[in-house]
Chain A
């Protein structure tokens, strides 16, 4: 089993005719994802490879049966693209776009919540259920089918973690990058709920970083609601305060959002926190078994 995306996923790619959109659509198709439609306003009626392109997401849902969307639209138009997908009744919306203004995302966040759609990202690598479906820009071959769920605020750091899991024989049910922005559709708690409820997931790896209090909130939630074993890692122990470390959301403000505080909260919640990134795979074998 897996969460949010699987063999029933029918993907529409918003921004399919752009350079990034084309490249990653092909990578998803190659992985086995059922890409049923693309959307680029003004290019309706065309095809990308043999995938039909529509002017609107609603058409993609009605005519091609799309139920999941992946968004590559540039930041100035991305908030609108997410809204369009939500209003069209798309169940899972994966926003890859980096650089969406925070005020735009605040509006989007509440509108999407009200619509009942599930938003992942923005500024994220996407989500993959190994062996079933890939909706995102992550490299497919590093993944392996299995029963460990991975949730992370990062992109390439997630690949590093997954690669170590796979090399140590620990397969994954679903791996999800929730994004490096301050306002994101799915937070750690949302992901933990889904993994806890998924019978195909037996353990969880949670990868955090500096900024905000999502890790602390998740730790509290884990104490109350998560029965499955959790391994954690937090990036940014050496990050200076007050500086935005690449991700818009990765910033220590005054004394809040430090890696140290997050690690302490997670350890207090009984999470096995890995200090040496190089030992994550090995630790996973010890905690989850192979």
Chain B
């Protein structure tokens, strides 16, 4: 789960990680008020959306007066901000962060992420702050210093020192940096984060270390024990259909194609999307109805898929296994009747009682094509896409 920069900075504040003074605003008047309160110039107005690259997209601007801050706020609030992370459709800005501007001497990078290969957390720090850290890692990996931390053992004091000295910090900055590393670690552990990143972590002209930006993501698996974090969720940042699907415990992700698909199991669902593409059509979504694929899940799945107006055909691929295909087929027919399906549907299913299942589908009177295997199913649905 993602949150906004201003929310991440609230968490930073709780952990005593230094941030610029400022507040979130939802209206132009509020932005002006905050700028006046700050009583320093310039002030920075930052669009709050769940995507990086805001500066390049025109979502971060400096103002030299409270009036200018209000004017900029008026331009940014309600704008559709397009960045390399939003996709071409962009995101509508509903909130802005108004902060004091700082005199910056140097920009650093500091982040923590889980490392799969070593089953540990890895701190990454770099003198090349303010840049895309992926690019730094790809082009100049020597500019990134790392420290691995096993949560069972915890962060060791020497690791903070190793990062600080690796960054060639001046002694008075080292003193500020080491505690920030420890606080970042505590934040990560306390909130079950999946990423905490400060980019840039700046050193001001008067040698103060300040988190100019803040990014915090959380482990979805741990949300059950992070009730406070749930309050940070911003549903306006999420695709409406995906929010709807999550209410039914369905894993749905909207894509750009026109062939809807419903599959049991995430791996098979991805493989089904791939084979649709291989057959010459484009998948409209990813939808995993779970290993069990109950009739209710199938019905909800149909509703979600068909809410996408681009969908011209649907492929259902269920590897039942222990699940009986006759029961599944009855569920599909019932769901199709209930939802009132207007597009052709190709069904491929495997498992026990598969013949009985096919008979039920054939005799349903619905526009259902039964496929023999995955490739047959993909070919049939691609044919539908071509004639649509």
Residues of chain A at the chain B interface (Cβ within 8 Å): 27, 75-76, 99-107, 109-111, 137-139, 141-142, 152-160, 163, 180, 182-183, 207, 209-210, 212-214, 217, 233, 235-240, 242-250, 254-256, 259, 275-279
Known contacts: A160-B268, A183-B114, A242-B85. The answer to whether A276 contacts B225 by CB under 8 A is no
By a CB distance below 8 angstroms, the chain B residues around A207 are 267
A99's nearest neighbour on chain B, judged by CB, is B221
Residues of chain B with a CB closer than 8 A to A76's CB:
224-225
Residues of A contacting B220 in the complex (Cβ-Cβ under 8 angstroms): 244, 248
B286 and A245 contacting across the interface, CB-CB below 8 Å = yes
In the assembled complex, the Cα of A207 lies from the Cα of B267 at a distance in Å of 9
Q: Which among B119, B150, B255, B286 has the highest number of chain A CB atoms within 10 Å? A: B119
Contacting pair B120 A235 (CB below 8 A): no
Of the candidates B253, B321, B373, B376, which one forms a contact with A245 in the assembled complex, judged by CB atoms under 8 Å apart? B253
CB–CB B116/A156 < 8 A: no
Q: Which residues of B contact A159 (CB under 8 A)?
A: 319, 321, 350
Known: A210-B270, A235-B274, A237-B274. A155 touches B134 (CB 8 A): no
Please judge, given known A-B contacts A235-B270, A246-B269, whether A278 and B291 are in contact too, CB under 8 Å.
no
Q: Are A240 and B265 in contact (CB under 8 A)?
A: no
Q: Convert B261-272 into 0s and 1s, putting 1 for each residue whose CB lies closer than 8 angstroms to a CB of A.
A: 001111111110
| A256-B134 Cα distance, complex, nearest whole Å | 9
A255-B321 Cα distance, complex, nearest whole Å = 35
Q: Is B283 in contact with chain A by the CB < 8 A criterion?
A: yes
Asked if A158 and B189 sit within 8 Å, CB to CB, the answer is no
Query: Does B375 contact A156, Cβ atoms closer than 8 Å?
Result: no
Across-interface contacts of A249 in B (CB, < 8 A):
116
The answer to whether B222 touches A102 (Cβ under 8 A) is yes
Q: What residue of chain A has the Cβ atom nearest to residue B273's Cβ?
A: A238
Q: Are B275 and A278 closer than 8 Å at their CB atoms? A: yes
Which residue on B lies nearest to A239, using beta carbons?
B270
Q: Is the interface of B mostly helix, strand, loop or mixed?
A: mixed
CA separation between A64 and B33, bound complex, in Å? 72
Question: Does B235 touch A at the CB level, under 8 Å?
Answer: no
Nearest chain-B residue to A246 (Cβ)?
Answer: B266
A239 to B255, alpha carbons, bound, how many Å? 9
CB pair B152–A235 under 8 Å, yes or no, is no
Known: A156-B319, A163-B350. A102 touches B219 (CB 8 A): yes
State A154–B321 Cα separation when bound (angstroms): 14
B226 nearest CB neighbor, chain A only: A101
How far apart are the CA atoms of A276 and B382 in the complex, in Å?
A: 15
Is B267 a contact partner of A240 (Cβ separation < 8 A)? no
Q: How far is the CA of A259 from the CA of B277 in the complex (A)?
A: 14
Chain B residues within 8 Å of A160, by CB: 268, 271, 319, 350, 374
Instruction: Compute how far the CA of A109 lies from the CA of B264 in the bound complex, rounded to whole angstroms.
Output: 28
Are B222 and A142 neighbours in the complex by a CB distance under 8 Å? no
Q: Which of A75, A106, A158, A213 has the most CB of B within 10 A?
A: A106
Contacts of A157 in B (CB 8 A): 265, 267-268, 270-271
B151 & A107 in contact (Cβ 8 Å cutoff) = yes
Please state if B319 and A278 are interface contacts (CB–CB under 8 Å): no
Can you name 7 A-B residue pairings with CB atoms under 8 Å? A100-B221, A102-B221, A106-B114, A106-B121, A106-B150, A109-B119, A235-B270
Quick check: is B322 within 8 A (CB to CB) of the other chain?
yes
> What CA separation (Å) do A269 and B26 show in the bound complex?
54
- The answer for the CA separation of A217 and B283 in the assembled complex, in Å, is 30
**Is residue B251 within 8 Å, beta carbon to beta carbon, of the partner chain?**
yes
Query: Nearest CB to that of A98 among chain B residues?
Result: B221
Q: A100-B221, A139-B322, A155-B267 are in contact. List 7 more A-B contacts (CB 8 A).
A: A106-B121, A238-B276, A239-B273, A242-B85, A246-B270, A278-B373, A278-B375
The residue on B at minimum CB distance from A152 is B267
Bound together, the chains give a CA A102 to CA B221 distance in angstroms of: 7
Q: Does B278 contact A (CB under 8 A)?
A: yes
Are the CB atoms of A279 and B375 closer together than 8 Å?
A: yes
B388 within 8 A of A: no
Please tell me if the beta carbons of A180 and B266 are within 8 angstroms of each other in the complex: yes
Q: Is the CB of B221 within 8 A of A75?
A: yes
- A105 and B119 contacting across the interface, CB-CB below 8 Å: yes
Shortest beta-carbon distance from A102 to chain B in Å = 5
Among B334-388, those with CB < 8 Å from A are 350-352, 373-376, 378
Interfacial chain A residues near B283, Cβ < 8 Å: 238
Cβ–Cβ contact B322 & A137, under 8 A: yes
Interface residues in B227-249 by Cβ distance below 8 A to A read none
Chain B residue contacts of A244, Cβ below 8 A: 220
Contact flag A183-B275 (CB < 8 Å), given A240-B255, A246-B251:
no
Residue of A with least CB distance to B267: A154
Cross-chain contact B121 with A276 (CB below 8 angstroms): no
Contact between B321 and A142, CB atoms less than 8 A apart = yes
Q: Provide the bound-state CA to CA distance between A201 and B12, in Å.
A: 53
